[in-house]
Homo-oligomer: A and B are copies of this chain.
Amino acid sequence: MPLNQGFVLASRPQGEARVDNFRYFEKETPPVGPGQVLVRNLWLSLDPYMRGRMDESKSYAASQKLDDVMIGGTAGEVVASENPEFKPGDKVVCVNGGWQTYFLSDGKGVNKVDASRAPLQAFVGPLGMPGVTAWYGLNKIIKPKAGQTVVVSAATGAVGTVVGQLAKAHGARAVGIAGGPEKCAFAVKELGYDACVDHKAVDFAEQFKKATPNGVDGVFENVGGLPFKLASHRLNDFARIAVCGLIASYEGAEKSSLDDLRILLVKRALIEGFIVSDHIDIWGQALRELIDLAASGKLKWRESVVDGVKAAPAAFLGMLKGANFGKQLVKLS
């Protein structure tokens, strides 16, 4: 049996997460029993939601248990199967394949993908959970009309990348917020954002105002903190804010708040938090649309790749601080 290598959650963070919150392990993969399938994880997706799971059940989902393999979506290949739905060589994505090189499963949460249509790792990125997240928040909460302005924080991240392009497809003005001139240039030149504002710039607030001359009709909020505050002060009537993530606040550094509820009343605006796993009913439609866009070359994205499972903790911690540029992946093969 092959050697499985990975990380368990060793301890819960006190404030900022640290590498010693994770503990490396190696152990032989158990034999594949009846109904089971063994997946060799080729790609591990690193996503901000994992930070919430590391805490003691403050988040929407149950906490990640201590000493369990770290939660994480993976893409890989079936290497052995005693489950009639899978055969060796099948390309699959695993909802929770975990931070490890092999995943033994009863088949639940393991889904075959057609890797002829896009690179395998895209199925844990723009053609997977992050893509569906973008699709849901934009189409079901923000519902932009042509000519409206949609602001997207973490504009070049796994989710934001897709939000901006979908907003453009609706005929909206897409305004990104990202950290640094390089990301902003990529957002505009490659992803098609009409404008992208660098939240690290000293004149961020002024630049943001200039980039939203007609106010803000929709906000896809991945970050919170100051970008949220600025956007909330420029809302138009009937604006919609989809709260997808608040990465600025995950480590307790910067609280994200709505300082004056009168904004919502005066603008008759809506703020809604969501988590894509509540909306399984739309995954099929969303994935079909996203895969079609990707296969026809109309959906672009960028990846940040680190090599080998041992690189996962540092890459994850870097992502929480915006060190990634595009979808953060760990290449396991």
Contact = CB atoms under 8 A, between A and B. Distances in A.
A289 interface: no
Contacts of A245: 265
A66 interface: no
A257 B256 CA distance: 11
A328 B270 CA distance: 30
B267 A273 contact: yes
Contacts of A246: 261-262, 265
Interface in A249-265: 249, 255-265
A243 B266 contact: no
A264 B245 CA distance: 10
Q: How large is the interface on A (under 10, 10 to 19, 20 to 34, 35 or more residues)?
A: 20 to 34
A262 B249 contact: yes
A224 B264 CA distance: 12
Contacts of A272: 264, 268-271
Contacts of A270: 270-273
A181 B310 CA distance: 63
Interface in A143-198: none
A268 B59 CA distance: 11
B224 A60 contact: no
Nearest to A224: B261
Interface string A52-66: 000000111000000
A275 interface: yes
A278 B258 CA distance: 24
Contacts of A267: 60, 273
A53 to B, nearest CB: 12
Contacts of A266: 58-60, 273
Contact of A255 (B59, B224, B260, B278): B260
A41 to B, nearest CB: 28
Interface of A: 58-60, 221, 224, 228, 237, 243-246, 249, 255-275, 278
Given A228-B261, A270-B273, 4 more contacts: A243-B265, A257-B258, A258-B261, A264-B271
30 contacts: A58-B262, A58-B266, A60-B237, A60-B266, A60-B267, A243-B261, A243-B264, A243-B265, A244-B265, A245-B265, A249-B262, A255-B260, A256-B260, A256-B261, A257-B259, A261-B271, A263-B273, A264-B271, A264-B273, A265-B273, A265-B275, A268-B273, A268-B275, A269-B272, A269-B273, A270-B270, A270-B271, A270-B272, A271-B271, A271-B272
